[in-house]
Chain A
């Protein structure tokens, strides 16, 4: 950090001043033209608050939303990795039909806007699945029982469990396609000699994948997979449109209840940034070691 500071020359300082000046000008413009009463002091209340009735500290709406976003991202990425590995292997399969089907799935998802995909998956797939499996009444029974601490920790409010599940499914189906591409690239990056070696010692196709190709491929694709995980966190904002109670949705609720338009959205942006930037730093460190 200090080393970089020492490297700065006078030209850098001039540039820095110009940038700061530019933003100050924009800020001054906003302040001049925007008729808005800033009420930043209200925001901390919606993050963490001392409950006036229960008399204890509790995570309020925005923090609840953040927790939901973290949960959804973790579960959706686990599902997406499983789906992605299946797709990636299918993309490299010797069977033409399998290859074509995997390719079709990918191309369809890659060429439709995420929002449209999410609506289609939501209404035609996850909703039907939840109704067919009767997840809702099962989750409600848990929500009503006294001993639901573990469930709450892993899934939040169990009454909202069905919408959480459909959010996770929709997101995983969508991101799985991209994970599949990453896995395929990993498999194809394993040199041909490795395949041939496996064949020559009489391994079956499955054994070859399991013991020779996959271990090498997965090691190689870890960095892009980490990247995809961060992308997934950002993409998770879209599922607020199907009323999954994550960070973006909760922010909309705060905004429509209090009119804290700018404060609430800036706070939410900061939360997303800290989460994603923190993870990207962490992954970079892990990659180096």
Chain B
């Protein structure tokens, strides 16, 4: 009986030792997968797999769920066309914005197509293609509490901006209005709602969101000045060290700019309102 006890103890002990061993080997595995991913171009992986995996986070009108629960928007259009041209299936992997770059780096998907602006900071971690869309940021504000404000009046410690954490508008607010206070949220809707409720004076977003919001709440919201801040391009983001994929995506984007297809899709989702009935009746 004592013997069984000791055996049990020894087995459990060695099991745990094994677990610890595996645990310490994990970083090594992680490292080797990263190496394996970069040594072979993701284009080859996609062809072999027959599926391109695209990571995205929902932003209106870049990508959203329509009434049927399907993904629609500029990005799904781009992704589907890209997959068609590559002769593979497309798989969209909705991911929360906070974790989208780590998820790309750890190999959860092949490329991020999610309205991600090309910024130096992000570029240190991932590679970007040429832009497949261009946007500028506009401020929209609560009429009642910012009545008669000039551009300079917004740069004041008494003014509160609302913004979605980790986004380019959030960074632009800090840069353009350094004295103002910023409230951070996890999601666009919450930031907009704070402005509507008058808890924040203003927020910043990529056009056409400000225009759409003002259309929806004309009695509360307005665009105080027409300046577009921080005009930027949005590119596909992919893992570093993959020149083949970068080349392929760049040429695909270039081709589709020249043919006018990207422009036409961009106008449909960003300038037009035809699609509104798809999302909410």
**Interface residues in chain A, defined as those with a beta carbon under 8 Å from any beta carbon in chain B:** 33-37, 39, 42, 45-46, 49, 51-53, 58, 60-61, 64, 90, 93-95, 97-98, 101, 123-125, 127-128, 131-132, 137, 140, 159, 204-206, 240-243, 245, 249, 252-261
Is A256 touching B188 in the complex (CB atoms < 8 A)?
yes
Contact string against A for B residues 81-108, beta-carbon threshold 8 Å, 1 for contact and 0 otherwise: 0000000000101111011001100111
Query: Nearest Cβ in chain A — how far from B90, in angstroms?
Result: 11
Report which of B30, B59, B91, B99 forms a contact with A159, defined as CB distance below 8 A.
Answer: B91
Is B8 touching A253 in the complex (CB atoms < 8 A)?
no
Is B106 touching A127 in the complex (CB atoms < 8 A)?
yes
Q: Which residue of A lies closest to B63 (CB)?
A: A257
Contact stretch, chosen from B172-180, B190-198, B250-258: B190-198
- SS class, residues of chain A in contact with chain B: helix
Q: How many residues of B contact A (CB 8 A)?
A: 52
Is A258 touching B279 in the complex (CB atoms < 8 A)?
yes
CA distance A128 to B159 in the complex (A): 46
Report which of A35, A53, A94 forms a contact with B198, defined as CB distance below 8 A.
Answer: A35
Query: Nearest Cβ in chain A — how far from B212, in angstroms?
Result: 10
The residues of A that contact B1 with a CB separation of less than 8 Å are 204-205
Whether B4 sits at the interface, judged by CB under 8 Å, is yes
CA distance A98 to B10 in the complex (A): 9
Which 9 A-B pairs rank lowest in CB-CB distance, beginning with the nearest?
A95-B9, A257-B64, A35-B196, A256-B58, A257-B65, A61-B69, A243-B95, A60-B69, A261-B189
Q: Which residue of A lies closest to B92 (CB)?
A: A159
Say whether, besides A159-B91, A258-B280, A61 and B51 are in contact (CB < 8 Å).
no
Q: List 11 A-B contacts (CB under 8 A).
A: A37-B217, A60-B67, A64-B69, A98-B9, A98-B12, A137-B49, A243-B93, A243-B95, A254-B65, A255-B187, A257-B58
Whether B228 sits at the interface, judged by CB under 8 Å, is no
